[in-house]
């Protein structure tokens, strides 16, 4: 581990390594932290995302930055006819996803979902392999967002979907101030109880605050060959689902 990685100081060049360290260190607590810090809303956000998925040709889905696999497992459960692969560059997160898969009581869908190690900016899949490429709460961690979007667009079939679920900064000034105070002060303090990683949740807050504006992000999607069909706002616009069609 480099010094920059171990101290948690990061810039655009070493961000990937730091992000990998952060998620490896918080992997065992990731689900619990997510539920606590989002007041349980994360479950609803992922569920809502699935309602916008449309399978019509390959009946395959790729869940990028899958983390502990909740989106991939939910797809496998809701769409038993669809084969899903979850990809993440943190072996610790993938290990938990695999554990959840083998722990599931509803074994009926096993075989429909697999997890593998990989980088969202260099996907090991052929062009037009999937009907749907989805990424939940991953894009803000990726320094080269355009390349990640290009890759998602490349691996879906024409007419296929690229779905990005992400927490975005607020438009309303009053709500923005409250939200930033929560993200930058409250959230890192709660998270420190669970994770020894100094910067983990400070970084999370910053990555939301510095996320591109909605217009900028839509332009990036368009640049990768997608038409932005809709933007679904959830929980007062804290989280948005960008639905792109190739
Ligand atoms: C906030 S978690 C989201 C996990 C999951 N999608 C969810 O809904 O909870 C972000 C995940 O993105 C992964 N990640 C970040 N950059 C990545 C990249 N370039 N390639 C693959 N995974 C990446 C991290 O390892 C982490 O598991």
pLDDT grade for 1, boundaries at 50, 70 and 90 = very low
Structure tokens at 80: 């038993």
Check if 86 has its Cβ closer than 6 Å to any atom of ligand 1: no
The structure's pTM equals 0.87
pLDDT (mean) for 157-168: 95
Check if 70 has its Cβ closer than 6 Å to any atom of ligand 1: yes
User: Which of 12-21, 47-56, 91-100, 123-132 is the least confident region?
Assistant: 12-21
- 145 alpha-carbon distance from chain centroid: 12
Check if 74 has its Cβ closer than 6 Å to any atom of ligand 1: no
pLDDT reported for residue 226: 98
Higher pLDDT, 177 or 239: 239
pLDDT (mean) for 149-170: 94
User: Which of 112-121, 126-135, 189-198 is the least confident region?
Assistant: 189-198
- Cα(65) to centroid of ligand 1, in Å? 3
Residue nearest to atom 26 of ligand 1 (CA): 67
Q: Angle CA(137)–CA(20)–CA(235) in degrees, nearest 5?
A: 15
Q: Does domain 38-168+212-245 have CATH number 3.50.30.30?
A: no
Residue 4 has pLDDT above 80, yes or no: no
Dump pLDDT digits (tens) for 95-115. 999 999 887 665 655 668 999
SS3 at position 222: helix
**What is the C-alpha to C-alpha distance for residues 24 and 26, in angstroms, rounded to an integer?**
6
Residue nearest to atom 27 of ligand 1 (CA): 67
Check if 30 has its Cβ closer than 6 Å to any atom of ligand 1: no
Question: Nearest to residue 151, comparing CAs of 115, 118, 116, 120?
Answer: 120
pLDDT (mean) for 212-221: 93
Residue 210 has pLDDT above 50, yes or no: yes
Higher pLDDT, 7 or 47: 47
pLDDT reported for residue 5: 42
pLDDT reported for residue 35: 80
**What is the C-alpha to C-alpha distance for residues 112 and 155, in angstroms, rounded to an integer?**
19
Higher pLDDT, 6 or 114: 114
């Amino acid at each position: 581990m480099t010094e920059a990685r171990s101290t948690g100081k990061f810039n655009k060049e070493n961000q990937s390594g730091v992000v990998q360290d952060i998620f490896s260190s918080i992997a065992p607590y990731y689900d619990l932290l997510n539920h606590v810090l989002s007041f349980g809303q994360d479950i609803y956000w992922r569920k809502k995302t699935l309602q916008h998925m449309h399978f019509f040709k390959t009946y395959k889905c790729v869940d990028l930055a899958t983390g502990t696999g909740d989106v991939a497992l939910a797809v496998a459960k809701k769409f038993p006819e669809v084969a899903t692969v979850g990809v993440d560059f943190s072996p610790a997160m993938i290990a938990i996803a695999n554990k959840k898969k083998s722990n599931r009581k509803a074994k009926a869908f096993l075989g429909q979902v697999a997890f593998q190690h990989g980088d969202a900016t260099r996907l090991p899949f052929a062009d037009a392999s999937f009907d749907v490429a989805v990424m939940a709460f991953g894009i803000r961690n990726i320094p080269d967002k355009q390349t990640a979007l290009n890759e998602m667009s490349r691996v879906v079939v024409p007419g296929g979907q690229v779905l990005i679920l992400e927490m975005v900064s607020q438009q309303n000034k009053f709500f923005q101030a409250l939200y930033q105070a929560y993200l930058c002060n409250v959230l890192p303090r709660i998270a420190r109880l669970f994770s020894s990683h100094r910067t983990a949740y400070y970084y999370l807050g910053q990555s939301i605050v510095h996320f591109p504006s909605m217009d900028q992000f839509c332009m990036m999607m368009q640049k990768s060959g997608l038409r932005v069909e809709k933007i679904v706002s959830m929980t007062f616009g804290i989280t948005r689902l960008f639905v792109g069609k190739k």
